[in-house]
Structure 1
Amino acid sequence: MGDQIRPLRPGEPAPAFALPAANVEGLVSLDNLRGRAFLIGFFRGLHCPFCRRQLGQLASLQPTMRAAGVETLAVINTPVERARLYFRYQPTPVTLLCDPDCHTHRAFGVPRGEFLPDGSCEPPEWPYRATMAQFKAARINPTGELPEPLQPMEANTVLNAKDGFELDEADHAILANHGTQLVGHFLIDAAGVVGWAQIEARDDPNNLCIFPTPAQIIAAVGSLER
C-alpha cells in the first residue's frame, strides 16, 4: 500500500529541513530561510523531463518572484553529485536542493503511489495505490510537445530522446526506487507557515505532469502578500 500521508495545508507550519544544494555552497535549511517567504517545489529526479521543464519555468519566474521578495527553491530526487554535474551545463537561478531518499517530500506530505499486486482484493485509491491497468490507461500531453497523448512512461521516453537526455546509473536507480513519487509545490510565508499548496495529479492519473502555471504561482504570491 502506498503511504497515505496527507499533504500540508495552508495555515500549517513547514517542517524543519536541511538539504545539500547543487548550485550554492553548503546546506539550505528552514532556519536559514526564516523571515523570508519562499516557494519550494518537490520533484522527481532528473530522469523526469516534465520536472526539468518545470524547473525551467520556475527559473523564468525568478525576476517576478524576487521583486515580490520570494525565494525559489526546488528539491529534486537526485544525488547531489549527479545534480551538480547536470546543472554545470544547464545552470539555473533556482536554488536546487537534493534529497535522493525523498525524506523531505514525505515531511511535506507529497504522495508517493504504489501498485497493487495482480489479483489483489484491495481497492485502488489514487494517488496512494493503483492498479497497473489504471496507470497504463493514463494518457498525457501536458506541455503539448507530443503528437498525441501518450502513456506516461512512453511520454518520458519520447521527451528524454528529444532532449538528448541519457539516464545514467544514478538516474536508473532513482527511477526504480522512487518512480511513483508525485510532485508538490508549497508557498511558505516569512513566519514559516504554508500559504498555498498544489499537488500533482491528486485526483486522476491523466493529470500527471500538470504543474502550476506561472499565472497560478504569481496569483498565489499576490495572495500571500495580502
Structure 2
Amino acid sequence: MKLFNGSKAIDFITTDINGKTIKLSDYKGKKIILSFFRNVNCPYCNRQVHQLITSSKRIKETGAEIIFFFESSADKLTSSTFHQGISPWPLISDSEKVIYQKYGIEKSTLKMMKTMFVSSLGKAKKETEAHNLPEDKEATLNLIPADFLIDENFNIVKAHYGKHLDDHLTIDEIKEFVGIVNPFKKKTA
C-alpha cells in the first residue's frame, strides 16, 4: 500500500544500528526526512546519503530530523566506515523489510532495468568508490528507494516513490522542506 501526500505518517518502533530505540512518533513536532535506501553497497543510494551528510549540519540547525533505512543487516552497516559516519542520524537496518512494507516500498524488476537507461552506473560507482563500501550478497537487486517528508503534525507533505534505482528527492527539495533557502535560486512569478 503506497502512501500519498496528505496521509498520516505510519508510526513504528525499531532500533538503530547502535541499539537505540527509534519511535517515529517521538519526533512529532519536528520536520522529518524519512529515507528508504536499498543496501550498503548501492552506489546510487550512497551518493544520496553522502549529499545529505554534506548538508547535515545545516539540516540539523533547522531542528529537522533524518532517519535512514537500509535493507542491509546491522552487521553490514556497522562494518562500513562510511555508514558509521551517518551519526547523529538514526541508521536502521530493516533486512526483513517490515517498515519497508508499512511504507509501501516496492520491488520492481522493470524499474530496476529502467535505471540503465536513465542513470549512469559507472558515474555513481566512481563517485562512491572512495567509501570502500562492503558487499551485500543478501541484498535485493530490485528494491526501489523512497523518501517521505513529514511535517510537525505527522502529515506526509511529500511521498516520493522512486521511478528507478537512482530516483530520490533532490537535496534542494529536502532543503526547501526544512527551510534552508537557496540564495541563488531564481524566483518565478
TM-score computed with the length of structure 2 as normaliser: 0.79
2:114 equivalent to 1:113: no
Partner secondary structure for residue 99 of structure 2: helix
Number of residue pairs matched? 179
Q: 1:161 to 1:92 in 2, by over 3 A?
A: closer
In the alignment, structure 2 segments of 5+ residues that lack a partner are 181-189
Match of 2:145 among 175, 183, 192: 183
Aligned partner of 2:166 in structure 1 is: 209
2:157 equivalent to 1:195: yes
In the alignment, structure 1 segments of 5+ residues that lack a partner are 115-125, 147-154
The percent of aligned pairs where both chains have the same amino acid is 20
Aligned partner of 1:122 in structure 2 is: none
- The whole-number CA distance in structure 2 between the counterparts of 1:191 and 1:137 is 35
> What is the root-mean-square deviation of aligned Cα atoms in Å?
2.9
Match of 2:133 among 165, 188, 191: 165
2:99 equivalent to 1:92: no
Instruction: Give the letter for the 1:37 counterpart.
Output: K
* Aligned partners of 2:78 and 2:84 also within 8 Å: no
Aligned partner of 1:70 in structure 2 is: 64
Partner secondary structure for residue 117 of structure 2: coil
- The whole-number CA distance in structure 2 between the counterparts of 1:32 and 1:13 is 15
TM-score computed with the length of structure 1 as normaliser: 0.68
Q: How does 1:10-89 map to 2 (within 5 A)?
A: 10-22=5-17, 24-87=18-81
Larger-Rg structure = 1
